[in-house]
Amino acid sequence: MSATMQLAKTESRLFMRDPIALFFGLVFPGALLLALGYLFPGFDEPSADLDGLTYTEAFAPMMIVLGIATLGLVTLPPILGTYRQFGILRRLRTTPVHPARLLWAQLVVHMAVAIVAALIAIAVAALAFDIAAPEMPLWFALSFILATTSTFTIGLLVGALARSTVAGQAIGMGLFFPLLFLGGMWVPRQIMPDGLRTVSDFTPLGSAVGSLTDTWFGSTPEPLHLVVMAAYAVVVGFLAVRLFRWE
């Protein structure tokens, strides 16, 4: 087996052995959707505030983004911090394999978990709340890829700058909550004041939720959202690569 495949296999095994990452990254988005839909009265009734969507419909794409944010901002940075702190990246530099391949393996594993978590959330939405699968699957998939790429590069940048596990966790969490807020986790984007929603449009999670919501419920994504996500992916990705320290 090639070194890259073996790295991806090893990293996915390690991910599976981390119960907290597994729960919050993989299961939590679907579980939270289920809980919100069942616990809050009126969540499955269309609301004029939400452009005719029900609260569960509005939260379904939000939950997918929650999963992406958890993986990119909460689990990824401390892993990179740990690998640097433990000298694992340094140790790799003395082998024929460049440590960048370990970063790729991490991104692949996190991407795979994000996809499965999204499928679980989509299944929960369909089975528990009769919400049809995304109506524009290709646009939805593109939005999903841009959302994961932009969020993961932010996690990569945090991991690039964090000297240790704890620093990675602290910076990651410091971004996680404000970005989720701007994404509409506590105040759905549809009922945000106009000014706040404009700010939200220019954040990675805000544009992700906007784009996933549009494509799930039948409209093409707003070009602005796609451009914002792509811009974060390119600019932040460039910074992460430039600033990454192997030790």
Partner 1 sequence: MPVIEVEGLVKTYDGLNAVDGISFSVEEGEIFGIVGPNGAGKTTTVESVEGLRKPDAGSIRVLGFDPLQDRYEVTQRLGAQLQESRLQDRLRVGEAMELYASFYTHPADWRELLRRLGLDNKTAARYSTLSGGQKQRLAVALALIGSPEIAILDELTTGLDPQARRSVWDNIEDIRDNGVTVVLVTHFMEEAERLCDRIMVVDRGRVVAKDTPSGLVARMGAEQQLRFRPSVPIADADLEELAEVTTVTRRGNQLVVNGTGNVVHAVTALLAQRGVIAEELRIEQSSLEDAYLALTGNDNTALNREVK
Which one, 10 or 198, has the nearer CB to partner 1? 10
Q: Can you tell me which of 27, 31, 36, 97 binds partner 1, judged by CB under 8 A?
A: 97
Binding range to partner 1, per CB under 8 A, among 1-9, 31-39, 48-56, 220-228:
1-9
Q: What is the dihedral of CA 18, 19, 21, 24, to 10 degrees?
A: 170
Closest contact distance (angstroms) between CB of 160 and partner 1 is 19
Amino acid letter, residue 128? A
Q: Does the footprint of partner 1 cover residue 46 (CB under 8 A)?
A: no
Q: Can you tell me which of 35, 49, 52, 91 binds partner 1, judged by CB under 8 A?
A: 91
Q: What is the dihedral of CA 160, 165, 168, 170, to 10 degrees?
A: -160
Closest contact distance (angstroms) between CB of 51 and partner 1 is 45
Q: Does the footprint of partner 1 cover residue 94 (CB under 8 A)?
A: yes
Closest contact distance (angstroms) between CB of 32 and partner 1 is 26
Helix axes 100-129, 3-16, angle to 10 degrees: 50
d(CA 192, CA 156): 30
Q: Does the footprint of partner 1 cover residue 23 (CB under 8 A)?
A: no
Binding residues for partner 1, total number by CB under 8 A: 24
d(CA 10, CA 91): 16
Q: Can you tell me which of 41, 42, 96, 193 binds partner 1, judged by CB under 8 A?
A: 96
d(CA 74, CA 114): 13
Per-residue contact track with partner 1, 171 to 210, x per CB under 8 A?
----------------------------------------
Contact 63, 29 (CB under 8 A): yes
Q: Report the run of H or E that residue 228 belongs to, with start and end.
A: helix 223-243
Binding range to partner 1, per CB under 8 A, among 13-21, 57-65, 162-170, 202-210:
13-21
Place of tokens 């694992």: 88
Tally of CB atoms within 10 A around 91: 12
Which one, 87 or 178, has the nearer CB to partner 1? 87
Q: Does the footprint of partner 1 cover residue 245 (CB under 8 A)?
A: no
Q: Does the footprint of partner 1 cover residue 163 (CB under 8 A)?
A: no
Give the HSE-up count for residue 95: Cα atoms under 13 Å, Cβ half-sphere.
12
Q: Does the footprint of partner 1 cover residue 88 (CB under 8 A)?
A: yes
Contact 24, 17 (CB under 8 A): no
Amino acid letter, residue 186? W
Q: Residues in the site for partner 1, rule: CB under 8 A?
A: 1-3, 5-7, 10, 13-14, 17-18, 82-83, 86-88, 90-91, 93-97, 247
